[in-house]
């Protein structure tokens, strides 16, 4: 196999992208890692809580510490990291259209492209949702953990999944009051460990409850909530008004599909992992030759699984570009899959494991 001089281009320097780039560089492949932000790390630096899993998954380590470690590795390896660089298109033949600092546009011919562009938070439209004070939970987390700004004094959180409860706890730690966490479904959605911590802090949880509207003149002053029936329709007469100045929406994430679509990747609809996402196989190859998808872009999971998926793509891309022998590629892939499988265990992991298995079954043979 000949050595291709075109670099592997990794789009997105979050946990998945960093790991992909590290694997490529370790194998000796030329790699360019691009990120639209001024700092690499994606969402890792917002994660001040400890991660789960086994020791090899850095369990017990806080997200930002994992981010720091990955950054140190990437610096040590001398990876070409291009920050403030937005990838705005993909041309046929793997031309990556990048815009640097909003002022210089160029196209880079890539040997392969690894899309690690994450996901975006879902909105929830209710009357008053455009008032100042309504924001996604991720936005509140950025304000508190990155910019050290408290978004408000008294907060309602809509959605009891992990994002909702973790952000709820972090808002409490930052000094806000959490008036309630409401959940449309009949049961709570987050890990028990996080949920229990928030409950112990005195935050009430309301299941089978939705938000009807936000009220206020210049910004949020009140939220009106109500019970819902089995068809998620509000039940008349159950309305309750909460005095809050902030409403955090935590109702799931949607994989970033834009660049994969432009590259021509075939999508698959998997509701458990966030909706439509690019179909992929066990090496994280999409349906388009030379295009890989990893992390939340390939189905919304967690930072720990994103890192392993990044490694899978990095390992295979290094092999495909001629920098890693087949035996070494297979061995590393298998080891990575072992760790991935162990991450997708437990009540929540099983569901993701089954969902991923469906994608892989359709996306060619698993490694």
Partner 1 sequence: MGSGDEKHICRCEEVSEDEIRAAIRSGARTVQEVKRWTRAGMGICQGRTCRRLVERMLCEELGLKPGEVEVSSFRQPVRPVSLKSFED
List residues binding partner 1 (CB under 8 A): 36, 86, 88-90, 97, 99, 102-105, 120-123, 125-131, 213-217, 254, 257-259, 261-262, 267, 269, 271, 275-276
Q: How far is the CB of 249 from partner 1 (least distance, A)?
A: 10
Instruction: Estimate the crossing angle of helix 303-320 against helix 326-343, to 10 degrees.
Output: 170
- Token pair for 44: 């890792």
Q: How far is the CB of 185 from partner 1 (least distance, A)?
A: 16
Q: How far is the CB of 120 from partner 1 (least distance, A)?
A: 5
d(CA 220, CA 84): 33
Q: How far is the CB of 276 from partner 1 (least distance, A)?
A: 5
Length of the chain: 367
Selection from 318, 262, 306, 313 nearest residue 285 by Cα:
313
Q: How far is the CB of 184 from partner 1 (least distance, A)?
A: 13
SS3 110: coil
User: Given the complex with partner 1, which of 96 and 157 has the nearer CB atom?
Assistant: 96
Distance of CA 236 to the CA centre of its chain: 37
Contact between residue 132 and residue 218 where contact means Cβ atoms under 8 Å apart: yes
Selection from 117, 54, 147 nearest residue 306 by Cα:
117
User: Given the complex with partner 1, which of 139 and 174 has the nearer CB atom?
Assistant: 139
User: Given the complex with partner 1, which of 277 and 340 has the nearer CB atom?
Assistant: 277
Q: How far is the CB of 252 from partner 1 (least distance, A)?
A: 9
User: Given the complex with partner 1, which of 104 and 147 has the nearer CB atom?
Assistant: 104
Q: How far is the CB of 182 from partner 1 (least distance, A)?
A: 19
Compute the CA torsion angle 111, 10, 162, 356 (nearest 10 deg): 10
User: Given the complex with partner 1, which of 50 and 102 has the nearer CB atom?
Assistant: 102
DSSP string, 319-358: HHTTSS-HHHHHHHHHHHHHHHHHHT-HHHHHHHHHHHHH
User: Given the complex with partner 1, which of 64 and 261 has the nearer CB atom?
Assistant: 261
Q: How far is the CB of 122 from partner 1 (least distance, A)?
A: 5
Distances in whole angstroms, Cα of residue 232 to Cα of each of 180, 223, 238, 347: 19, 18, 13, 24
d(CA 342, CA 100): 39
d(CA 215, CA 337): 49
User: Given the complex with partner 1, which of 275 and 314 has the nearer CB atom?
Assistant: 275
Residue 275 pairs in a beta bridge with 270
User: Given the complex with partner 1, which of 198 and 220 has the nearer CB atom?
Assistant: 220
User: Given the complex with partner 1, which of 4 and 36 has the nearer CB atom?
Assistant: 36
d(CA 204, CA 117): 35
Q: How far is the CB of 365 from partner 1 (least distance, A)?
A: 24
- Token pair for 72: 């140190």
């Amino acid at each position: 196999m000949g050595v291709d001089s075109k670099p592997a281009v990794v789009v997105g320097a979050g946990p998945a992208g960093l790991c992909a780039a590290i694997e490529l560089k370790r194998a000796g492949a030329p790699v360019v890692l691009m990120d639209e932000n001024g700092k690499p790390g994606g969402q890792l630096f917002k994660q001040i809580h400890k991660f789960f899993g086994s020791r090899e998954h850095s369990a017990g380590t806080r997200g930002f510490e994992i981010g720091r470690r990955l950054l140190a590795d990437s610096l040590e390896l001398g990876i070409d990291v291009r920050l403030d660089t937005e990838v705005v298109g993909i041309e046929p033949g793997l031309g990556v259209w990048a815009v640097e600092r909003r002022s210089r546009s160029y196209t880079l011919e890539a040997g392969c492209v690894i899309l690690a562009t994450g996901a975006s938070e879902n909105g929830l439209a209710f009357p008053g949702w455009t008032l100042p004070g309504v924001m996604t939970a991720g936005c509140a987390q950025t304000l508190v953990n990155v910019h050290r700004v408290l978004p408000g004094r008294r907060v309602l959180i809509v959605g009891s999944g992990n994002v909702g409860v973790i952000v709820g706890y972090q808002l409490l730690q930052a000094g806000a009051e959490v008036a309630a966490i409401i959940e449309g479904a009949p049961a709570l959605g987050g890990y028990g460990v996080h949920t229990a911590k928030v409950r112990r802090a005195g935050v009430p949880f309301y299941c089978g409850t939705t938000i009807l509207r936000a009220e206020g003149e210049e910004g949020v002053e009140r939220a009106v909530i109500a019970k819902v029936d089995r068809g998620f329709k509000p039940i008349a007469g159950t309305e309750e008004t909460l005095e809050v100045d902030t409403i955090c929406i935590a109702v799931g994430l949607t994989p970033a599909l834009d660049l994969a679509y432009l590259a021509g990747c075939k999508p698959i609809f998997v509701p458990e992992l966030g909706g439509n996402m690019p179909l992929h196989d066990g090496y994280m190859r999409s349906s388009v030759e030379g295009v890989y998808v990893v992390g939340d872009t390939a189905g919304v999971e967690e930072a720990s699984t994103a890192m392993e998926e990044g490694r899978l793509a990095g390992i295979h891309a290094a092999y495909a570009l001629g920098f890693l022998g087949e035996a070494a590629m297979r061995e590393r892939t298998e080891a990575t899959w072992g760790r991935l499988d162990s991450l997708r265990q437990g009540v929540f992991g099983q569901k993701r494991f089954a969902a991923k298995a469906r994608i892989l079954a359709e996306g060619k043979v698993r490694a």
